Homo-oligomer: A and B are copies of this chain.
Amino acid sequence: MKVLVTGGAGFLGKRLTTRLLARPDIDEIVLLDMAPAKGLSDPRLRIVAGDIADPALMGRLIDGKTAGVFHLAAVLSGQSESDFDLGMRINVDASRLLLETCRKRGNRPRVVFTSSVAVYGGDLPDVVTDDLALRPASSYGTEKAIAELLLSDYSRRGFVDGRVMRLPTVSVRPGLPNSAASSFASGIIREPLNGVDAVCPVAPETRLWLLSPRRAAECLAHGFDLDADALGGQRAVNLPGITVTAGEMVEALRRVAGEETASRVRWERDPAIERIVGTWPGAWDTTRAEALGFKGDANFEQVVRAYMEDDLRR
């Protein structure tokens, strides 16, 4: 089986790829990103740098042997808000190009598409259920909701066999801060553990809905393996997260790594970030995801420890 992973140089793309390489049924993985993916090496890997919105490139990367696509590439929430055209170009147009390329090839690959808490907005209940209307309050959320609709209709028509994995905010991400409005949700743990000061731009009582990178990669692979019938015509799945406030995150850090580490977090509210993050749900109902076999984290302390085991270099 040949698989394409877009956004393959990101932390989630690489973690997913490592999982996929452990499978005997995969012959080739094409990793596409703006810059070549680093730190991965395997004879079955083909690492490509290029623009996902380029039709010629997509036409070369998706061929008659492509049986699976993990579409992770995206312009993140902060940048989608500050550069509307770029967000539309990558999050909407490139997603549509990918689906169109699959349609033209005609072999109906499985397409796993990552979406986000940001598709929800407006007046939200404490716990979001599967039937709640999407009212995104950011361009990023709007673009993800549009791509979800496209994937569903392309699946209904039999052009692809798509699955939308709506991710909670992924924390603790390794690496550097990024342009997501939620970047702090990793930074306030990662930076202190690396001896660096961090700013938390939201109030301590702000609720976040979190999933660890380890579990996120597992969920994407599980979503790929699911039989389409199990989804019952509803292609989007709200993946299981845990509800944690920003204050509780730092408390968990204190318990795991001590007072000196936790004291590296400074509280300094940023209205632009609060405005975006405040429109996201603090929890959603995970009944369906769990019935479909998806697994989230047990608690945030475990998430901090998983980051230390998987990613922390001292």
Q: Which residues of A pack against B, CB within 8 Å?
A: 84, 122, 130-137, 139, 142, 145-146, 149-150, 152-153, 156-157, 233-234
Contact = CB atoms under 8 A, between A and B. Distances in A.
Contacts of A137: 156, 233
Number of copies: 2
A152 B142 contact: yes
A99 to B, nearest CB: 11
A134 B133 contact: yes
Nearest to A152: B142
B131 A132 contact: yes
A142 B131 contact: no
Contact of A139 (B130, B131, B145, B153): B153
A142 B149 contact: yes
B157 A84 contact: yes
Contacts of A153: 136, 139, 142
Contacts of A131: 132-133
Contacts of A136: 149, 152-153
A84 B157 CA distance: 9
A76 to B, nearest CB: 16
A150 B142 contact: yes
Contacts of A156: 137
A245 to B, nearest CB: 25
Nearest to A235: B135
A135 B148 CA distance: 10
Nearest to A141: B153
Contacts of A130: 133
A134 B153 CA distance: 12
A150 B147 CA distance: 12
Nearest to A147: B146
A199 to B, nearest CB: 27
Contacts of A135: 152, 234
